[in-house]
Amino acid sequence: MTQSNTNTAVSAETVMRERHSVRQYKRDVVIPQETLNEILELSAAAPSSWNLQQWRFLVVQEQAQKDMILPIAYGQQQVSDASVVVVVLGDLQANITGREIFDGALAGGHISQEIRDNMVNQIEGAYQFEQVARDEANKNAGLAAMQLMLAAKAKGYDTVPMGGFDKAKLVEALNIPERFIPVMMIPIGEAAAPARPAGRLPLDKLVINETF
């Protein structure tokens, strides 16, 4: 896509077809803070279980910080060269957000006490299970991550989703609290070289009609 980094409207289909994992970036490209904020806002418009928004965005822009996490990402050069690296975090304690949201809605007179109690009990019940909390963190942060990549593409930037990094070392290096888990690392920037082609399985391998 030969698209400048302006607010040119581009169709959802074009963005989805033209997003590819770019691994080579021009160095020293600065993404305007306003554009970055728009990308993050669009990402946060993703749906989530109970609207708990189980994602956080740890934004790394300083060159020294990017270089510090380069070895943690096993030397994948895009981490150093891209303009921004967003670490998408998943929230293991999103039930806390649940209470805040539904208490706020009750205080604002938008829901009844009964609805508030039902929702909070449902969420607290589910979050008693560590595996549920972890699944929800990964699932919902993944949705925000996908939306982030599409939003960036719509704004004329490229990305690459990355799971190839040492999670424990990243947690330590960036002081990530226990409440959050790093789900994905997403460098964002201007491509220095196109993505390598990556094919897809044909629909007849992917689609099961009605039942197996």
Ligand X SMILES: Cc1cc2nc3c(=O)[nH]c(=O)nc-3n(C[C@H](O)[C@H](O)[C@H](O)COP(=O)(O)O)c2cc1C
Instruction: Report yes or no: 141 and 50 within 8 Å, Cβ to Cβ.
Output: no
Q: Tokens 């030969």 label which residue?
A: 2
- Nearer to ligand X (CB atom), residue 40 or residue 184: 184
Give the strand pairing for 158-159 and 180-189: antiparallel
Check residue 196 and report its DSSP letter.
P
Rounded least distance, CB 198 to ligand X, Å = 3
User: Which residues on neighbouring strands pair with residue 56, listed in sequence order?
Assistant: 89
- Positions in 19-48 near ligand X (CB under 6 A): 20-21, 23
| Euclidean distance between CA atoms 142 and 106, whole angstroms | 30
Name which of 20 and 66 has its Cβ closer to ligand X. Answer: 20
Which of 160, 171, 181, 188: binder of ligand X (CB under 6 A)? 160
User: Judged by CB under 6 A, does residue 70 bind ligand X?
Assistant: no
**Token reading at 150:** 């599409």
Pick the piece of the chain touching ligand X (CB under 6 A) from 85-93, 122-130, 160-168, 203-211.
Answer: 160-168
Residues 75-114 that bind ligand X (CB under 6 A): 76
Residue from 90, 98, 156, 161 touching ligand X (CB under 6 A): that is 161
Q: How many helices (H) and strands (E) does the chain have?
A: 9, 4
Nearest residue to ligand X by CB is: 164
| Cβ 115 to ligand X shortest distance, Å | 36
Strand order in the sheet with 180-189: 55-60, 84-91, 180-189, 158-159
Where does this chain bind ligand X (CB under 6 A)?
Answer: 20-21, 23, 76, 160-164, 184, 195, 198
